[in-house]
Amino acid sequence: MEYASNILGTIGNTPLVRINRITSDLPCLVLAKYETFNPGNSVKDRMALKMVEDAEADGLLSPGGTIVEGTSGNTGMGLALAAIVRGYRMICVISDKQSREKIDILRAVGCEVHICPTDVAPEDPRSYYSTARRLAEEIPGAWYVNQYDNPGNTRAHYESTGPEIWQQTDGRVTHFVVGVGTGGTISGVGRYLKEQNPDIRIWGVDTYGSVFKKYHETGIFDPDEIYPYVTEGIGEDILPENVDFEIIDGFTKVTDRDAALYTRRLAREEGMFLGNSAGAAVKGVLQLAEHFGPEDVVVVLFHDHGSRYVNKIYNDQWMRDQGFLDPESGPPVKE
C-alpha cells in the first residue's frame, strides 16, 4: 500500500505545467512550477516544515511549545500544518492588507491570529514584524520563526524545489522566474540551478512600492521606493537575509493592476486558479521576452491558490474599487 504517514509527507514533488495561451507570443517553452499541489496550497509548506525541523534539532522548539511568526498567510498555513502534526501552539501575526480568506483559513486550522496595520514602518511597535518578535519574547517556550532571515527557508528550496525543477526539465531549464518576498525560493532554487549550470538565468519579479529592484541595480536602499501596494506575497520594505542578490541576475517590476489582471487571465485562459503573485509572475515573464530564445525553457513558479483571493482579485466589485477592471480582464462574473 502507498500512503503518507501524515499530511506533511505530501509536501513537494509538485508538477510542471505548460502555459499555452498567455505566453503564445514568446519564442520559448514556458512551464509553471505549480506549488498549489502542496497540502497547504502554497510553496511555503516546504520551508515551513524545514524551519520547524531545524528548530527541533537545535533545541529551539520543544514539545508543547509555541510557534510565532509574522506572515502574509501562506507561511502561517505551512507552519500550522506542522504545528498540528507535531503538537505545537501556533500564533500568526498578519498585516491588515491580506485577504479575509487567508485570515479565516489560518483560524480554521487552529491558529491564533493577530492583525496589524500595514502602513507603518517595520520598526514601529505596531508592525507585524515587531509584534511577532514581542509575542515570542513574552510567551514562555515560544520560538520566533523569522522566515526573512532564517536560513532554513533558503535551504528548503535548495534541497527540494531546485532539484525537482532540474530533474523535471531533464536539465534543460535555462531561466527561472519567481516573485520575491522573503527571498528563500529564488535564492535556494537559484543557487542549486546555477551549481548545475552557471548559464541558467535567475530573474526576480518585484512590485512597485518594494525596494528589491533598485537595491539590486545600485546597491542603494532607497526609502523613497517604499509605499503601500496591493499585490500580496511579493516585495518588501526591508532587505531579508534570505535574498541572495549575488544569485539573482535581475529584477522586473509589475504593477498592482497587471498582477491582478493577469491572475484573472490565468484562471480564464489557462484554467489555473491561482493567487495574486502568479499574475505578477507571468506578467514578469512577458516583460522579459527579449531575454528568451527558441531553445529556451523558462520555469516560472506559482506560489499559491486562488481560493485565498476570492473576495479580492476574483471579485468584480473589489477590482472596480481598485480601478483595475477594464475590457482586458474579460467579462464580469454573472451573479
The three grid cell numbers given for residue 194, joined into one nine-digit string? 546555477
CA-wise closest residue to 181 among 125, 242, 112: 242
Q: Which residue in this structure is represented by grid cell 480568506? A: 101
CA-wise closest residue to 193 among 297, 75, 45: 297
Which one is catalytic: 44, 102, 213, 312?
44
Q: How many CB atoms lie within 10 A of CB 328?
A: 12
Strands 66-70 and 142-144: parallel
Backbone angles phi, psi at 95, to 5 degrees: -85, 155
CA distance to 190, 259, 284, per residue, from 226 (Å): 26, 18, 20
Cα of first residue to Cα of last residue in the chain, in angstroms, is 45
44 is catalytic: yes
Planar angle of CA 49, 51, 56, nearest 5 degrees: 95
> CA-CA-CA-CA torsion for 225, 226, 230, 236, nearest 10 degrees?
100
Q: Which amino acid is at 275?
A: G
Output the furthest CA–CA distance in the chain (Å, rounded). 58
Rg (CA), the chain: 19
Q: Is the dihedral of CA 23, 25, 26, 29 positive or negative?
A: positive
Q: Which residue in this structure is represented by grid cell 511549545? A: 65
Enumerate residues 6+ apart whose C-beta is below 8 A from 7. Answer: 39, 81, 85
Enumerate residues 6+ apart whose C-beta is below 8 A from 165. Answer: 16, 33, 173, 176, 189, 193, 299
Catalytic residue ranges: 44
